Amino acid sequence: MVKSAALLFFLILMFDLASAQDTLPRFTVTTRGNNRTFISWSNNYPVTTQINIQRSTDSLKNFKTILSVPDPTIQQNGFVDTKATTPYMFYRLFIVLDSGKYVFTQSKRPLWNNGAAAVQKIVGDNNNNGNGNKRVIISDTMSSKEADRLKNKLDDSKTGNNANPSKAAEPEKYFIVKRRDSIITQVSERGFKPFSDSLVRKTKDTLVFQTADTILIKPFIPKEVYKPSAFIYTERDGNVMMSIPDATSKHYSVKFFNEKNVEIFHINRIKETSLVLDKSNFLHSGWFRFELMEDGKLKEKNKFFIPRDF
């Protein structure tokens, strides 16, 4: 009975692989859940000496070989991965051809076995924070088909429409949430709207859909608002004025830096309350930074601009 069940599973697997195979260097990755990922392909290369299946949590790096295919010359082949630590792994193939030539395929994540992306439904409307800034956006790197699917789901969530209410329920899908290169959490379909609402309400960060099931949190970086210093600033003639009322009673020093934060020169002790630095000391026009110290402590860190007139 056990042998019959195993044989039945093997036949079902082979049928799935044969019916959904892409031709190398394209390949197919599908899943039915239950920690089973099916990697399959059709090999039409005249000579193939090696095929390695590799996986990673990142789409571009840290790939490790999980299987070296015993017979890479088989025209239709595949493998079932049951040891992935997460259902959101990326897979790729390393193919060695004749004369030592080799190919790395593009990486891809599993699709559900009905051909639909691993995340189908998006709930929530946080695409605007009230001042016109987009807070939930779709990356240009996504295919137009995936982008349209996401946009349609966002539109459906606004109106409450369900394009296919009679469709059989599927296992709940999950989004991977990343910050830079690190996975920080996973959010279910039902949890997406509360998650995105909370992020938009409590932060100024942006959610970017990199793929149909991967969300990147893009931190908000405020624009630098320049406020001229009251102590060191540029005069109309382009020279730099230093105005420090208590320079005679306290120990002041200053360092000047270029835009790349490379020190140009410094003054160890400012002894005059008013001092003009000729603009030629700075060698060229542009922005310059300074650090003004008072009795060994930072008094001000700011910048000034010398116009281009010499």
Which of the given ranges, 7-21, 159-173, 227-241, has the highest pLDDT on average?
A: 227-241
State the pLDDT at residue 51.
Answer: 94
For residue 228, cis peptide bond before it (omega within 30 degrees of 0): no
196 with 129: CB under 8 angstroms?
no
State the pLDDT at residue 153.
Answer: 62
Between CA 277 and CA 284, with CA 281 as vertex, the angle to 5 degrees is 120
For 129, the 3-state DSSP assignment is coil
pLDDT at 147 over 80: no
Query: Both 166 and 86 in a single domain?
Result: no
Indicate the number of domains in the chain.
Answer: 3
State the pLDDT at residue 174.
Answer: 77
Assigned domain for 97 exists:
yes
Assigned domain for 243 exists:
yes
Query: Both 6 and 102 in a single domain?
Result: yes
Query: Both 298 and 245 in a single domain?
Result: yes
Structure-block tokens of residue 21:
């195979």
Average pLDDT of 80-102? 87
pLDDT band with cut points at 50, 70 and 90 for residue 21: low
- Picking from 112, 145, 180, the residue at the C-terminal end of a domain is 112
**What sections of the chain are H helices per DSSP?**
2-19, 144-159, 189-202
Query: Both 108 and 146 in a single domain?
Result: no
Assigned domain for 123 exists:
no
CATH number at residue 290: 2.60.40.10
Query: Both 91 and 65 in a single domain?
Result: yes
pLDDT at 45 over 70: yes
Query: Both 268 and 246 in a single domain?
Result: yes
Assigned domain for 251 exists:
yes
Domain hosting residue 270, numbered range:
232-306
Query: Both 199 and 238 in a single domain?
Result: no
